[in-house]
Amino acid sequence: MLIKFAKPSDVKPSEITPLSAYLDRRRFMKTAAVTGAGAALLPLLPNGASAAAKFDDLAKSPYSTDEELTSFMSVTSYNNFYEFGPGKSDPIKNSKDFKPQPWSIAVDGHCANPGTYAYEDIIRPHKLEERIYRLRCVEAWSMVIPWVGIPLADVLKRFEPASTAKYVAFETVLRPEEMPAQKTRLLDWPYVEGLRMDEAMHPLTLLAIGLYGQEMPNQNGAPIRLVVPWKYGFKSIKSIVRISFVENEPPTTWNKSAPQEYGFYSNVNPNKDHPRWSQRRERRIGEFLRRETLMFNGYAEEVAHLYEGMDLNTQY
Ligand code: MTE
């Protein structure tokens, strides 16, 4: 991965809006919309926030952490979404014209119910949950993000995977007109990722459609993305348009780009250094001191059994 050091354009801690202030602004906006006096405030809001729909009545999850949340401002302005450029502030700047509606997902491969499904039909039967997860990027920074989503397993079961489906492959939308870096050869587009079937079916694996109680901002992977909290962040593929049930381990974008650096599994592992930097510690965005990275990003109790018998230093 192209590792980036802080640039003047990156968000500074002093610019980060606490959630309470952000929510106050939204409350104000609601009132202001009625009185017609709110327009002057809109430029203060991060991209997408002014138009975002809010989700009500989210189920709480026992899988949520009670660690302090990373601010909405950081979560939505310090991003990796290479389709919009390699810099952390490129996604918020360059995703304004991306259109996440209407949206559909093609489902194919080894399953009883392949087809092209409208986004709404995928989501509608499910109860939405809030899941507060740690996100650990392979670049050694981390965040705590309150996602809104559905366990991926619940959605996949509806497609009735066959016993021959050993892996699930995912693909990001290819729209060079709306995603400017897709006109370059920065990566091999479209971005693709994959999970072993038992990883995909694990209750921690989330299909996320929002964060901070509102619909997914473009820069975070609108309208629907994966969140796999015990793996490095690049496994959590954004803006998904295809889900394929396959027999063999599918190709993945970062592995194709630098196979010696990024394996298929990419579980968070402080004992396995990246060839160019240590993975022992991480910088939690918003904090000053670096903290220890935990095995499986702190989710070992839930997921370590999936890798029993595997040598995590050679199979990574
Ligand atoms: N998905 C796509 N399609 N393109 C990307 O560049 N970046 C990945 C992942 N999903 C990426 C992607 C990386 S490296 C990380 S760390 C996370 O998204 C970042 O998610 P966030 O920007 O919502 O924090």
Q: Which domains does the chain have, with CATH numbers?
A: 13-261 (3.90.420.10)
Quote the pLDDT of residue 20: 37
CA distance 147 to 68: 14
Supply the residue whose CA is at minimum distance from atom 11 of ligand 1. 81
Residue 302 CA to ligand 1 centre (angstroms) = 23
Q: Is the CB of 233 under 6 A from ligand 1?
A: yes
The predicted model gives 271-282 an average pLDDT of 97
Q: How far is it, in rounded angstroms, from Cα 277 to Cα 245? A: 34
**pLDDT tens, position by position, 187-219:** 999 999 999 999 999 999 999 999 999 999 999
C-alpha 236/C-alpha 87 separation (Å) is 18
Give the mean pLDDT of the chain: 88
Instruction: Answer yes or no: is pLDDT of 223 > 90.
Output: yes
Residue whose structure tokens are 């009185």:
35
Q: pLDDT tens-digit profile of 99-113?
A: 999 999 999 999 999
Residues shown for the chain: 316
Answer whether 169 contacts ligand 1 (Cβ < 6 A): no
- E strand map for the chain: 104-109, 115-118, 129-136, 141-151, 167-172, 192-196, 206-211, 214-215, 225-227, 240-246, 281-284, 291-292
Q: What value does the mean pLDDT take over residues 61-84?
A: 98
Residue type, 209: I
pLDDT number for residue 225: 99
How far is ligand 1, taken at its centre, from the CA of residue 44, in Å?
25
> Per-residue pLDDT averaged across 12-30, rounded?
37
Q: CB-side exposure of 80: number of CA atoms within 13 Å?
A: 22
- The pLDDT confidence band at residue 2, using thresholds 50, 70 and 90, is low
